[in-house]
């Protein structure tokens, strides 16, 4: 399975503004357009429950994409679920990927947040990353990964400037060959 981590962060590496949940207030319009284009070209999107809680009002469900929210208590979200469009699962990353592969999926977008990203990285499942860097500092906030000790090598394969202010879109492939943890 090709698993693409997709996140937006500041130049000082923050993926949330301080302790606030919403990212739509600070990410650029160009990044939001890039995110929507990417979603339109995928059929499988996975996120953690805290990310879902923070974006659910902006989610437009579609029969063309299956969204899966990982939570240890799927029953809590029973009334939000919609067959084939929005599922809540307590599977581990490996169990989820194995099930999705058996269903014929070959590509997955992993949309955060930091805890889910860490779980997928620890299982060495992330194959590439699309990281947008917004030209601002927040000083405090979450990071792409929840605290973990790792040394994982990335290879930069594409850099794109998205706007005049200097929002950058970086594409990396992930190599676990020399990963230490
Ligand atoms: N800048 C960006 O691009 C970006 C992207 C995504 C999210 N965010 C922000 O990041 C924040 C959310 O990130 P987060 O790190 O707090 O939470 P998260 O990773 O979105 O969700 C964590 C939750 O996932 C569930 N979970 C299921 N299996 C897990 C596992 N193996 N390991 C860990 N968690 C597992 C648990 O849900 P239960 O508690 O329900 O059991 C856990 O509380 C929000 O503020 C969001 O806006 C930013």
43-61 per-position pLDDT tens digit: 999 999 999 999 999 999 9
Which residue in 65, 67, 66, 63 sits closest to 55, CA to CA? Answer: 67
Whether 179 shows a pLDDT value over 90: the answer reads no
pTM given for the model: 0.97
The residue whose CA is least distant from atom 48 of ligand 1 is 15
The residue whose CA is least distant from atom 24 of ligand 1 is 48
29: left (phi over 0), alpha (psi -120 to 50) or beta: alpha
Residues with Cβ within 8 Å of 22's Cβ and at least 6 positions away in sequence, in order, are: 54
Arithmetic mean of pLDDT, 6-13? 98
89 lines ligand 1 (CB under 6 A): no
> What percent of the chain shows pLDDT beyond 70?
100
- Closest ligand 1 atom to the C-alpha of 116? 19
CA distance 92 to 119: 8
Q: H or E stretch including 55?
A: helix 49-55
CA distance 72 to 147: 20
6 lines ligand 1 (CB under 6 A): no
Arithmetic mean of pLDDT, 12-27? 94
Instruction: Specify whether the CB–CB gap between 9 and 170 falls below 8 A.
Output: no
Q: What is the pLDDT of residue 181?
A: 73
Residue 170 binned pLDDT confidence (cut-offs 50, 70, 90): very high
141 lines ligand 1 (CB under 6 A): no
Q: What is the pLDDT of residue 23?
A: 85
At which residue do the structure tokens 């953690």 appear? 48
Which residue in 87, 109, 112 sits closest to 15, CA to CA? Answer: 112
Instruction: Specify whether the CB–CB gap between 123 and 174 falls below 8 A.
Output: no
What are the tens digits of pLDDT across the range 61-83?
A: 999 999 999 999 999 999 999 99
The residue whose CA is least distant from atom 31 of ligand 1 is 119
Cis peptide before 74 (omega within 30 of 0): no
What are the tens digits of pLDDT across the range 94-150?
A: 999 999 999 999 999 999 999 999 999 999 999 999 999 999 999 999 999 999 999
121 lines ligand 1 (CB under 6 A): no
49 lines ligand 1 (CB under 6 A): yes
Instruction: Specify whether the CB–CB gap between 96 and 68 falls below 8 A.
Output: yes
DSSP three-state, residue 65: strand
The residue whose CA is least distant from atom 29 of ligand 1 is 116
Fold of the domain spanning 2-180:
Dihydrofolate Reductase, subunit A (3.40.430)
Report CA(111)–ligand 1 centroid distance (Å): 9
DSSP three-state, residue 151: strand
Q: What is the pLDDT of residue 178?
A: 82
Sign of the C-alpha dihedral computed for residues 158, 163, 166 and 169 taken in this order? negative
Q: What is the pLDDT of residue 76?
A: 97
Mean of all residue pLDDT scores within the chain: 96
Q: What is the pLDDT of residue 30?
A: 98
């Amino acid at each position: 399975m090709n698993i693409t981590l997709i996140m937006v962060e500041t130049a000082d590496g923050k993926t949330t503004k301080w302790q606030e949940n919403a990212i739509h207030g600070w990410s650029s319009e160009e990044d939001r357009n890039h995110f929507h284009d990417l979603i339109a070209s995928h059929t499988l999107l996975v996120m953690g429950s805290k990310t879902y809680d923070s974006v659910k009002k902006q989610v437009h469900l579609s029969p063309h994409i299956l969204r899966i929210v990982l939570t240890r208590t799927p029953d809590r979200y029973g009334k939000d679920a919609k067959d084939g469009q929005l599922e809540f699962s307590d599977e581990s990353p490996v169990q989820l990927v194995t099930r999705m592969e058996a269903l014929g999926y070959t590509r997955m977008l992993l949309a955060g947040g930091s805890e889910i990203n860490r779980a997928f990285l620890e299982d060495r499942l992330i194959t590439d990353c699309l990281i947008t860097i917004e030209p601002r500092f927040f000083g405090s906030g979450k990071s792409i990964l929840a605290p973990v000790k790792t040394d994982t090598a990335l290879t930069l394969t594409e850099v794109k400037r998205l706007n005049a202010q200097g929002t950058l879109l970086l594409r990396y492939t992930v190599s676990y060959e020399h990963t230490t943890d």
